[in-house]
């Protein structure tokens, strides 16, 4: 199935492939392969950001008036698919994919002029201050308080699971500006400079030993009122708009296919009962089952893409893709641990540093297997848990 690709789309795909062939260096590909987290190692990510910026491809979905590539949904899908297949570094995208579109829609002219070019160039790195201890799926219950004092808000509270806060120069943040009415009605959306006094970042290490997420403490942090996006107490509208971008638009199928290829290579190399693991009937059946799922994901993605081309934004279909994509990723990572057997066990973070010359314990391909397995547990929690996505599907797709 070629998802109704036009000749122009096919030519675009060839351009994208040629670009990746030329610009993706070996160390970038190696870093993508070794990373177990959501995003590429920071230094590699910065270099790749620069390459895309110079090419004019850093902001695929942004309109040309804001310096974006202005691609169609199909072009964006092709690009994301090819990036997954080529193993391009995954960039910190909270600026480009989340707060950028929000500033374009709800920001004033001054905010647009100041923030958008800095997001594109990579001068600002953003983190997302939504979740709090006790407020995740039930986000509207958030407690971080912002009280007006002169021209500023004075912010007190804490945010948790803040990805990349240790690198971020700015955080977009939901704060409570009123305790009246429904919880959703007293929330505002503000932009915080991470250098402001009163901000403390505490790392949270994952089971795999990676530092991706943090808890951020805000103690009497002064934020100019002009850094609010949208009206006071109407931040919920802004927050929901942003979540559409967080959950939508992902191309999972080619990333899953790349994961499967690595799994197959491991199963060809591993031995069991004197033969190759890939020839073991029980394992081969599991591999076939996950391959079937990968193809189902691909067919679903293509169907959704052709719907988008005809009818516009995907709506609740993005929940279907989020659940299918993240759960299939977890499944592949589980089979990889099973295939790798005892070589999955050694804890060897130094062997996952790009450019290292550490002699790994076991075959090199097995080094990232366990960390990926462990970190993929989070994929069905962040950006809306699987249970919450299923609630959305039940309500909006099935009408229950
Ligand atoms: C790796 C990682 C990175 C993250 N990065 C960020 C970030 O950068 N910025 C940020 O703001 N947040 C971030 N988060 C937080 C993430 O958005 C929350 O963890 C998520 O929304 C779930 O909230 P919670 O952890 O409070 O769990 P809870 O909401 O307490 O959920 C606990 C369990 O109950 C289930 N549940 C909850 N409500 C319902 C319901 N109504 N029906 C059925 N089941 C339900 C959930 O599915 C889950 O299994 C990140 C999380 C992770 C794991």
pLDDT of residue 3: 61
Question: pTM, whole model, 2 decimals?
Answer: 0.93
Over residues 376-389, the pLDDT tens digits come to: 999 999 988 999 99
Task: Report the residue among 90, 132, 137 best suited for mutation to probe ligand 1: largest number of ligand atoms under 8 A from its CB.
Answer: 137
Separation of 387 CA from ligand 1 center, angstroms? 10
Q: What is the mean pLDDT of the chain?
A: 92
Which has the higher per-residue pLDDT, 36 or 60?
60
Structural domains of the chain in order of their starting residue, each with its CATH number? 7-91 (1.10.540.10), 125-245 (2.40.110.10), 248-397 (1.20.140.10)
Q: Whose alpha carbon is nearest atom 52 of ligand 1?
A: 382
The Cα–Cα gap between 223 and 165 comes to 17
- Calculate how far, in angstroms, residue 315's C-alpha sits from the geometric centre of ligand 1: 20
pLDDT-above-70 percentage for the chain: 97
- The pLDDT of residue 1 is 42
Structure confidence at residue 38 (pLDDT): 81
Query: What residues are in contact with ligand 1 under a 6 Å CB criterion?
Result: 127-131, 136-137, 161-163, 213, 378, 381-382, 385, 387-388, 391
Closest atom, ligand 1, to C-alpha of 38: 1
Q: For 46-77, give the DSSP string.
A: HHHHHHHHHHT-S-TTS-GGGT-----HHHHH
pLDDT, tens only, 279-319? 999 999 999 999 999 999 999 888 888 777 777 767 777 88
Question: Mind listing the pLDDT tens digit for each residue in 96-145?
Answer: 999 999 999 999 999 999 999 999 999 999 999 999 999 999 999 999 99
User: CB within 8 A of 339, min separation 6: which ones?
Assistant: 263, 266, 267, 270, 277, 283
pLDDT at 153 over 80: yes
Q: Which atom of ligand 1 is nearest to the CA of 139?
A: 21
pLDDT of residue 4: 66
162 CA distance to ligand 1 middle (Å): 12
Cα gap 370→373, rounded to integer Å? 5
Q: Is the pLDDT of residue 147 over 80?
A: yes
Rounded to the nearest angstrom, the distance between the alpha carbon of 40 and the centre of ligand 1 is: 22
Q: How far apart are the CA of 389 and the centre of ligand 1, in A?
A: 11
140: tokens are 């509207």
Report residue 301 as tokens: 């993605």
């Amino acid at each position: 199935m070629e998802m109704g690709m036009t000749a122009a789309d096919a030519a675009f795909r060839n351009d994208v492939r040629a670009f990746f062939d030329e610009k993706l260096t070996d160390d970038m590909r190696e870093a993508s392969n070794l990373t177990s987290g959501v995003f590429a190692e920071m230094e590699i990510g910065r270099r790749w950001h620069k390459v895309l910026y110079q090419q004019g491809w850093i902001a695929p979905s942004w309109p040309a008036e804001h310096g974006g590539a202005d691609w169609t949904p199909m072009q964006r899908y092709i690009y994301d698919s090819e990036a997954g297949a080529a193993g391009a570094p995954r960039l910190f995208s909270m600026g480009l994919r989340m707060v950028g579109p929000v500033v374009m829609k709800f920001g004033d002219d001054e905010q647009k002029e100041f923030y958008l070019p800095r997001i594109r160039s990579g001068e600002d790195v953003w983190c997302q201050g939504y979740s709090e201890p006790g407020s995740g799926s039930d986000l509207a219950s958030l407690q971080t308080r912002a009280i007006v004092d002169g021209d500023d808000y004075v912010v007190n509270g804490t945010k948790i699971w803040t990805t990349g806060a240790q690198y971020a120069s700015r955080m977009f943040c939901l704060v409570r500006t009123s305790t009246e009415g429904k919880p959703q009605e007293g929330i505002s959306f503000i932009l915080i400079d991470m250098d402001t006094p009163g901000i403390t970042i505490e790392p949270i290490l994952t089971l795999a030993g990676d530092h991706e997420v943090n808890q951020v403490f805000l103690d009497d942090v002064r934020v100019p009122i002009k850094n609010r996006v949208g009206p006071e107490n109407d931040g919920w509208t802004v927050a929901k708009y942003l979540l559409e971008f967080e959950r939508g638009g992902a191309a999972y199928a080619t990333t899953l296919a790349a994961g499967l290829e690595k799994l197959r290579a491991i199963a060809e190399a591993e031995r069991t009962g004197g033969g190759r693991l890939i020839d073991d009937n029980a394992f081969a059946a599991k591999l076939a089952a996950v391959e079937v799922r990968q193809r189902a994901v691909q067919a679903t993605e293509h169907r959704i893409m052709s719907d988008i081309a005809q009818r516009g934004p995907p709506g609740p279909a993005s929940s279907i893709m989020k659940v299918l994509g993240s759960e299939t990723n977890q499944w592949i990572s589980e089979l990889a641990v099973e295939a790798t057997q005892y070589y999955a066990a050694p804890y060897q973070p130094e062997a996952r540093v790009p450019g290292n010359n550490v002699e790994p314990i076991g075959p090199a391909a097995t080094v990232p297997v366990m960390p990926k397995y462990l970190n993929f547990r989070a994929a069905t929690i962040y950006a809306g848990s699987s249970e919450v996505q299923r609630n959305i599907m039940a309500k909006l797709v099935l009408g229950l």
